[in-house]
Structure 1
């Protein structure tokens, strides 16, 4: 190496004067420049999916929380007696209605029917020994005296304290009622079944016999605020006028047909006797209907001999059927054939259950009415017979009427009871 030659610097320039060669910084070798990578479509898709998943999880979580809070506010539908599946307040009882089982007449003991004297003579003897009525049959006396709201989700049920529904704890599941009576239409609305109507205990029809002797006897009964059936005797001074006034008052009129009695007492004008032919019987009936009519039915005045005669009763009942009339058997004898003949010719009939005013005392009449009420409750309907000449009867009926209605009984005309029984027996049109 020649010390006279300067050192090679390989074209990189000479080092500065006074600076060692070892202290000269070396430049980096040229190479590729670093570039920033742009995102690909795979990256974008990955980011989008991750974002959507996060949003979905958040939405689902929020929905679950809201549903849980809503369910915690829905009251439980508890089964109550009766199986309705929903707690419903009990229906209010009618104003002034007595408690179940109450009887305004319970303080009075029933008393058997007694035989009065007839309008046209003494009453016939009852059909049982000693004048007492048979325990199996009524006494036979001759003569005319003889759902209310809708529950929406989140709203409490308005109910009485005793039947208010309890609420389920938060975050618990709603209990579904076992009864099928509760419907769940779309929208989550719970509909309550309608409140059943109270059942009628029985129907009572009252017949008032012996109208036609005068005008003043029938007047108090025409003012009574419930249906009545009034039987008018033919051939009396005021028969036609009384019948007209009864119809004008909206009450029901029937012909009170006089008939021969076993005891021989006088049945009055326009009567039917056992010695009459069919032509004579029909002529009497036509004449009486012309005088008293129009009427809806016929019942017998006295008539223990006639109502036990199949031949005559077949004529009378056939006449009723031809004229569209029903027949009421006053049952003045235990030997009556009216039910058998009526069934044979398919005619609707009714039968007397109680004589109200055999004794002209208010307490006794109430006892007989009480007996009729018990029969109506047992059989569904009862027919009671009184008389227009009973001085205490109109006031007694008016006094008892509100109590009978409050107990669940209905007062009606005889025709409604008779036609109802006729349909039940399946006689047809």
Structure 2
């Protein structure tokens, strides 16, 4: 090999190593820049240090080995509803109301369950009969904190909250910016029931680098059993397409009957509790 070729090869190697070093410096400079921006944002929002909270990354294009479907039954408040839900041949997640004078025993119902979530009333655009303790767009940080602290006291094992009504609250950025970090601080994950197409929850989740988890299908806007099963088929199609889906229904007799008779519809789908689904996609 000629001396010229050796020198050319050596020069190329030196250039390559210098290029790697420069790229590494640029990379670390960029990472440091973003870390500083994140720290400024954390202080501005008065969030706890990142080391004290789990790091949850948004996952795009989740693909699971078997399509999974989480079915949530909202508005659960009474023992008879829980009994009927547990009798179904599927892993159904009841979403339980906080206690009020109309249904004071919901924490006792939850204490007997391994899998459940909290159905938190939030302000709607047009609804004249709100639940006691409904969070509104006028709720202050202190009021929201007190409400969420009570939820943690009543439901010590709960991990997930979804909204009851809430079309006004979840569309209001200022309200969600107050609510979201408080819910996280008490260890709750918020699942968007998507009661409005104007929901700002995806934007909030992106700010916090949390996965946006939301309802895909409402099962029973119409109480007809055929309608409910067609909605269930829609949920199955979504699950097969994107790897998972979330369907929400209510403890109506027709809804529970439709679910009980849907073995053929759910064939080939893993029906799982919401916490099991979350562990797969987060």
Per the normalisation by structure 1, the TM-score is: 0.48
What does residue range 218-367 of structure 1 map to in structure 2 within 5 Å? 218-235=82-99, 236-247=103-114, 252-367=115-230
State which structure, 1 or 2, has the greater radius of gyration over its C-alpha atoms: 1
The structure carrying a bigger helix percent of its residues is 2
Using CA pairs below 8 Å that are at least 6 residues apart, which structure has the higher relative contact order? 2
User: How far apart, in 2, do the equivalents of 1:349 and 1:256 lie?
Assistant: 18
Alpha-carbon contact 2:193-2:214 (below 8 Å) kept: yes
Alignment of 1:76-155 (within 5 A): none
Residue 269 of structure 2, aligned match among 402, 409, 427: 409
Between the two proteins, the alignment pairs up a number of residues equal to 216
After superposition, the C-alpha distances for 1:50-86 in whole angstroms (9 at most, x for unaligned) are xxxxxxxxxxxxxxxxxxxxxxxxxxxxxxxxxxxxx
Tell whether the 8 Å contact from 1:230 to 1:246 is kept in structure 2 after alignment.
no
Local SS of the residue matching 2:182: helix
In the alignment, structure 1 segments of 5+ residues that lack a partner are 1-198, 423-429
- Hey, what's the Cα distance between the residues in 2 that align with 1:204 and 1:310? 29
Residue pair 1:200, 1:409 contacting (<8 A) in 2 also:
no
Aligned residues of 2:225 and 2:257 also touching (Cα < 8 A): no
Aligned counterpart for 1:206 among listed residues 71, 74, 77: 71
Provide the secondary structure at the position in 1 that maps to 2:130. Answer: coil
Specify which of 233, 242, 256 is matched with residue 394 of structure 1: 256
State how 1:158-177 maps to structure 2 within 5 Å.
Answer: none
Aligned-pair CA distance for 1:313: 1.1
Cα deviation for residue 381 of structure 1 reads 0.6
* Distance in 1 separating the partners of 2:256 and 2:108: 20
Q: TM-score, normalized by length of structure 2?
A: 0.71
Shift of residue 418 of structure 1?
Answer: 3.0
1:324, distance to aligned residue in structure 2 (A): 2.6
Query: CA 1:370–1:305 in 2, change beyond 3 Å: closer, same or farther?
Result: same
For 2:212 and 2:105, locate their aligned partners in 1 and report how far apart those are by CA, in whole Å. 27
How far the C-alpha of 1:404 sits from its partner, in A, is 4.5
Task: Name the residue aligned to 2:47.
Answer: none
| SS of residue in 2 equivalent to 1:392 | helix
Deviation by residue 1:250-298 (Cα, 9 ceiling, x = unmatched) = xx21111100111142320121011111111111111133223421110
Q: Is the 8 A contact 1:260 1:302 kept in 2?
A: yes
2:41 aligns with: none
Q: CA RMSD in A?
A: 1.9
Residue number in structure 1 paired with 2:15 = none
**Which residue does the alignment assign to 1:418?**
278
Distance 2:112 2:223 in 1: 26
Gaps of 5+ in 2: 1-63
